[in-house]
Amino acid sequence: MKNIITITLCLTLLLSGCVLKRTQVPETVSVKDYDGRYIGEHTRKNEAFYKKYKSDAEETYKKSVKKLYGKDVKITRSYPYSWKKEYKSFKSYTGIKVIGTVDYDVPFQYTMNYIIEDEKSEVVKPSYTKDWTPVINAMVYKRYESDIEAARLKFKKEVESQGYFAMNKKLEKQQDFVGVSKQYLNFEIPNLNVDNDDFKTKYKSIMNLQGEEFNQKMDEVIKKHPYFKDGIKTDFIAYFDNKKVKDVNKYSWDLQIPTNETMKKIPGEKSIYFWNGKVSPTTIDEFGLLESTSEEISMDGGMWDEYKKESK
């Protein structure tokens, strides 16, 4: 049976099924200096597939983004992978993941998986979906951008004054994060479910509006779909070197006070994370970040008023 090339647009992390070459790949790398060259180290079989289909996958990706959003996209990374899946006789996918930044008012990442089915005795096609999660995240971010940016910049100022730092910009763009990712901040609305017809009829016309007109239209959408606001998850993320975990933990509590007023203006859930600046160069965690080699320190943000009430 001939191999069947299909395309699936999806935002699920598929790296868990990759077979990685560990030759000359360090166990940990610095978040400050990492350039992304070890993400997607694979077997020679995948490398041959990548060489054969890379141009086709990236061209298909660009055309798809243009058709979906009417926007240009800058590819930041592509790599081959294998994804094992138990489904009847269907054993695995071999494919190419393409990641890029879409040129929108709030740039957002979009991922496409270019997949070939193999090792099967029957045709099992992966679903072809138009997932609107990335652009909805960006539109909601745009609606609350002034408050989110005020909180992000306040967090940045406070933590940098204490020697904490952000992921480097090159690595930031290469993450598999679903949503809007900026220095010190990841923003998403998990579990969004917007179908093709809804996006075209309800949201696409709002995308390129500006100013108060955009805000009014988004407020109408949010009134009908409260989860767009209530489901927001904003993570403030910093890294540290040469600090004792107990000192970082204490600082995370102290940080509540100067950041409280700006963070509490953001709808939804706010969290603060501190990770050690050493990470695995090949493994991506549930947040779409490189897997930290140490346990993270985390707590809620914008909750100082509630903490004070509880302590009385």
pLDDT > 70: percent of the chain: 80
Q: Which of 11-20, 60-69, 142-151 has the lowest mean pLDDT?
A: 11-20
- What is the rounded CA–CA span in Å between residue 115 and residue 96? 6
Q: What is the pLDDT of residue 99?
A: 87
Greater confidence, 288 or 104? 104
Are 85 and 156 members of one domain? no
pLDDT score at 116: 65
Given a cut of 60, whether residue 13 has pLDDT beyond it is no
Does one domain contain both 51 and 155?
A: no
163 and 281 share a domain?
yes
In the prediction, which pLDDT does 92 show?
A: 60
Instruction: Please say if the pLDDT value at position 7 is more than 70.
Output: no
Domain boundary among 130, 146, 178: 130
Mean pLDDT check: name the lowest of 64-73, 261-270, 296-305.
Answer: 296-305
pLDDT of residue 216: 97
Same domain, 121 and 222: no
- 119-137 average pLDDT score: 55
CA distance 150 to 78: 33
Of residues 159 and 60, more confidence is placed in 159
Give the angle subtended at the CA of 62 by the CAs of 57 and 67, to the nearest 5°: 120
Higher-pLDDT residue of 149, 121: 149
Say what the pLDDT of residue 41 is. Answer: 58
240: Cα within 13 Å, side-chain hemisphere = 22
Q: Cα(103)–Cα(123) distance, rounded to whole angstroms?
A: 36
Segment 174-225, tens digit of pLDDT: 777 778 999 999 999 988 888 777 888 888 899 999 999 999 999 999 999 9
Examine the domain organization and report whether 292 and 198 are in the same domain. yes
> Are 263 and 117 contained in the same domain?
no
Could you tell me if 115 and 164 lie in one domain? no
Sheet of strand 29-30: strand arrangement: 29-30, 278-284, 290-292
User: Model confidence over 241-288: pLDDT tens digits?
Assistant: 989 989 999 999 999 999 999 999 999 999 999 999 988 887 777 766
Per the model's pLDDT, the better-predicted residue between 150 and 115 turns out to be: 150
Is 60 exceeded by the pLDDT of residue 22? Answer: no
Q: Where are the alpha helices (DSSP H) in the chain?
A: 44-69, 133-143, 145-161, 169-174, 196-198, 211-224, 227-230, 245-254, 256-263, 304-311
pLDDT given at position 95: 76
Same domain, 148 and 93: no
Please give the pLDDT value at position 118: 53
Whether residue 166 has pLDDT greater than 50: yes
Containing domain of residue 56, as a range? 5-130
Residues 157 and 108 in one domain: no
pLDDT for residue 114: 79
pLDDT tens-digit readout, 170-179: 888 777 777 8
The least confident of 77-81, 98-102, 245-249 is: 77-81
Query: Among 82-96, 252-266, 297-311, which range has the highest average pLDDT?
Result: 252-266
152/103 same-domain check: no
Cα–Cα distance for residue pair 262/281, rounded to 1 Å? 34
| 297 & 158 share domain | yes
Predicted pLDDT at 304: 75
Which of 95, 242, 101, 85 shows the shortest CA–CA distance to 163? 242
Could you tell me the CA-to-CA distances from 258 to 126, 158, 165, 254, 308 in Å, in that order? 48, 8, 18, 8, 14
Whether 45 shows a pLDDT value over 70: the answer reads no
| Edge-to-edge strand ranges of the sheet holding 269-276 | 180-182, 185-188, 233-240, 269-276, 297-300
Query: pTM of the entire structure?
Result: 0.82
- Point out the domain boundary residue: 130, 154, 181: 130
Number of domains composing the chain: 2
Indicate if 85 and 140 belong to the same structural domain: no
| 21 pLDDT higher than 70 | no
Per-residue pLDDT band at 8 (split at 50, 70, 90): very low
3-class DSSP state of 8: strand
**More confident of the two residues 91 and 67:** 67
Tokens found for residue 44 = 């020679």
Q: Tell me the pLDDT of the chain averaged across its residues.
A: 80
Contact between 245 and 261 under an 8 Å Cβ cutoff? The reply is no
Q: Which of 82, 114, 130 is the last residue of a domain?
A: 130
